[in-house]
Amino acid sequence: MSKTQVRYAVAALTDCGSKRPSNEDAFGYSAEHGVCVVCDGMGGAAAGEIASSLAVREVLRILGERNQAAPLEKSIEEAIRATNEAIHSRSEHDPHLRGMGTTLAGLATKGRRVLVFNVGDSRCYRLRKRKLEQISQDHSLVEEQVRMGRITPDEALRSPLRNVITRALGTQPEVEPDIFELKAEAGDTFLLCSDGLTGEVPDAQIEALLAADLPLEQICANLVAAANQAGGHDNITCMLVRAEG
């Protein structure tokens, strides 16, 4: 492993897709603090947009202000807990926003340490040496059924229940993220995305698009285009983070 300083390059793109009237996805990142977040809101257009943008803003703010001496994992848990409370209390106080929530897939770096965290079915993948690996596990009904061996991954993709998620930010008084710790190697490319990408584009195609020798911005555009070509039934968001050096 090289001891040289690692640098992360970031690119992101969101798109309404071809069928939805509005975009309830949101994303944000802080290069300074090494934090990236993708959220997919729900609860009706206005509420979904508020939930996802509130989540992005709060997670970036809290992790940006965190005590650097505290373990990063603890700071992530705290950020998710506080963000969940912020969304939940806002929905309790405004009848128009009742029941709103959002998924979240995030990534925080400290040197080569990469902590991936998620709630719901927005995902994080890593491409290493042209091989794609899903890092996060969906908090969804079909994913749980696959893990219990009740249905196959193929059946999960076609299930009418594939959009039912079992965890979200803001819909309950408390929620916990899953956190995965990795060590970045030079060239590793992480993808954070909403299900508007993964519901349309098979992993093998995502792998091929990510492995292309193109600027990150162009790869984001190609991922969004692939989801739209496959139907674009949902909002599509992709964020790429590449470890350089």
Residue 177 — left, alpha, or beta (φ > 0 → left; ψ -120 to 50 → alpha)?
A: beta
Q: Rounded to 10 degrees, what is the CA torsion of 164, 138, 59, 206? A: -110
CB atoms within 10 A of CB 192: 30
Residue range at the interface with Ca ion (CB under 5 A); choices 33-41, 58-66, 140-148, 175-183: 33-41
Binding segment for Ca ion among 34-42, 111-119, 182-190, 207-215 (CB under 5 A)? 34-42
Binding string to Ca ion for residues 172 to 201, with x set by CB under 5 A, is what? ----------------------xxx-----
Q: Which of 26, 29, 40, 115 binds Ca ion (CB under 5 A)?
A: 40
Nearer Cβ to Ca ion, position 188 or 234?
234
What does the block give as tokens for 53?
């943008």
**Closer CB to Ca ion, residue 188 or residue 200?**
200
Best CA proximity match to 54, nearest among 170, 193, 140: 170
Q: Which of 34, 76, 234, 237 binds Ca ion (CB under 5 A)?
A: 234
**Closest CB to Ca ion among 182 and 197?**
197
Q: How far is the CB of 233 from Ca ion (least distance, A)?
A: 9
Q: Are 197 and 238 in contact (CB under 8 A)?
A: yes
Beta bridge partners of 107: 36, 116
CA-angle at 204, arms to 202 and 208, nearest 5°: 120
Residue 15 binding Ca ion, by CB under 5 A: no
Interacting residues with Ca ion (CB under 5 A): 40, 194-196, 234
